Chain A
Amino acid sequence: MKPFTYERPTTPAAAAAAVTRRPDAKFIAGGTNLLDLMKLQIETPGHLVDVQDLRLDTIEATDDGGLRIGARVTNTALASDPRVRRDYGVLARAILAGASGQLRNKATTAGNLLQRTRCPYFYDTYQPCNKRQPGSGCAAIGGYGRPLAVIGGSDACIATHPSDMAVALRLLDARVETVTADGTTRAIPIADFHRLPGDTPHVETALARGELITAVTLPKPLGGTHVYRKVRDRASYAFALVSVAAVIRPDGTGRVALGGVAPKPWRAEAAEAELPSGAKAVADALLAGARPTADNAFKLPLVERTIAAAISDARE
């Protein structure tokens, strides 16, 4: 690891100011992604601003019947919350399908949303990677593409977003609340939070430099049956090849979002209109325009089958 200095401010605005002040500063929450990348010198911050004393670790009811989840609420605490288990089951299920018990105890809501891709070439510092080193090229295109995106990628990058939690948050239409150094706050709809790579794959979110996530809010509960189906190479403790988050109502209508296939949680509201017609229609609409590689073309039929399994889970 490169040397760095470390501080623990006590207010969100002070934390935002501390990161804004230094171009080489970063926030650190659980550290489970950032430290991993710092050991490999993929991330090389010169200053770390720890968010643990900002009191962003509660889950509260909002006036409109939803929930406000503090940015530092751990993945375990969020998946264990009785309100989340009762009203937002898909979120609890998605979190519990990810990582391990130890990691979920440490991982936070904001950190999980901002975790970086698991593209193997992003991790291999001997390979060109536009995300790690803008302008260097993309070793994944034409390389081994099995874990990579089938849709939403560009000629510069075909990495996937690895989070399970984010797929459920996209399904639930969550909003990401932030604060900047001057105290300005805003709420970013989750659909606009993660960006597609285009020509700038290193720019991954709508956040400005130094903008601190303070909370993630959920609108009032949707009802319906909540399902999260994750397909992976091992039964546990592995990233998704494909995942499906779904909320299905008794009349067969509902919502569907995908993980493991795109640079951001993948949802198309128009595709959801096809739910009563079955999994194939939904998958076709969601994946229209997909550009898989030879190694990951299997994800297309896998999406359809996983949606079918999710619909049938919901009927049980």
Chain B
Amino acid sequence: MAEFPPPVRRIGADGAPNVVDPASREAIPEPIARALAPSYGPERLRIDGVSIHYAGAAKPAVNQVTLPVRQGEVLALIGPSGCGKTTLLRSLNRLVELTPGATRDGRILLDGEDVDHLEITRLRRRVSMIFQQPNPFPMSIFDNVAYAIREQAMRRPGKGVLAPRVESALRRAGLWDEVADDLDRPALRLSGGQQQRLCIARALAVEPHVLLMDEPCSALDPISTGVVEELIHELRETLAIVIVTHNLAQARRVGDHVAFMYLGDLVEYAPTEELFTNPRADRTRDYVQGAFG
């Protein structure tokens, strides 16, 4: 397992205690800070000077990134492929630790708690993830969701206990009406869009505070994409959502804030409309105007 050294550096007020004040702007460096709008809910996740290095790579895949993730908003991560979006996302629930030789600097706070101090199974139930490829397990639809609900120590709870929770997760993911009549069907028989919504149901079933989505629509047709985007809109009321997308139109549609990354660096972070209509950095302007990427 990868070794995670203690945080080496923090951006912001030097020497200040590592307490996250949702209203504090100090911890976020200019020019990023201009984006902090007061209208959003409490900060759920704080990415604080995070760098991630893969073994053998010359430069870090993610370099000194600081970002807030708040309740009630969708944060869209954009940038050309290979710029570190997935790596950053995977560090938020410490999945990046599964990669041998990967190391992380900086801190990630979930509701004020350092994720390195959280028990990993608990962390991953609070910060749930959707992947690029729909990846249901080779089980029935019901079992896919039930598997997520069962906690480690739980002896198999009966269907009676699980069924209402499975139903509510499937409803939240907007899949219930399509599958209710045959929950015992193998999940892999569903269409791609349904599979991805099943994965969302699975991720919601653990009742997370933060939902990470890594290009969740890139394997889906336009109609399924629309359904999933609709879902993201509804879910952000109750969850903080971070979505990686290389589809700028999608970032614009679903994002409340957008963070643009380039070669591991966070170049710009701004409210969505502002980033697209009035980007500050030249790189951002080139990218959103389609000059590269």
Q: Answer yes or no: do A and B interact.
A: no
Binding site for B on A (CB under 8 A): none
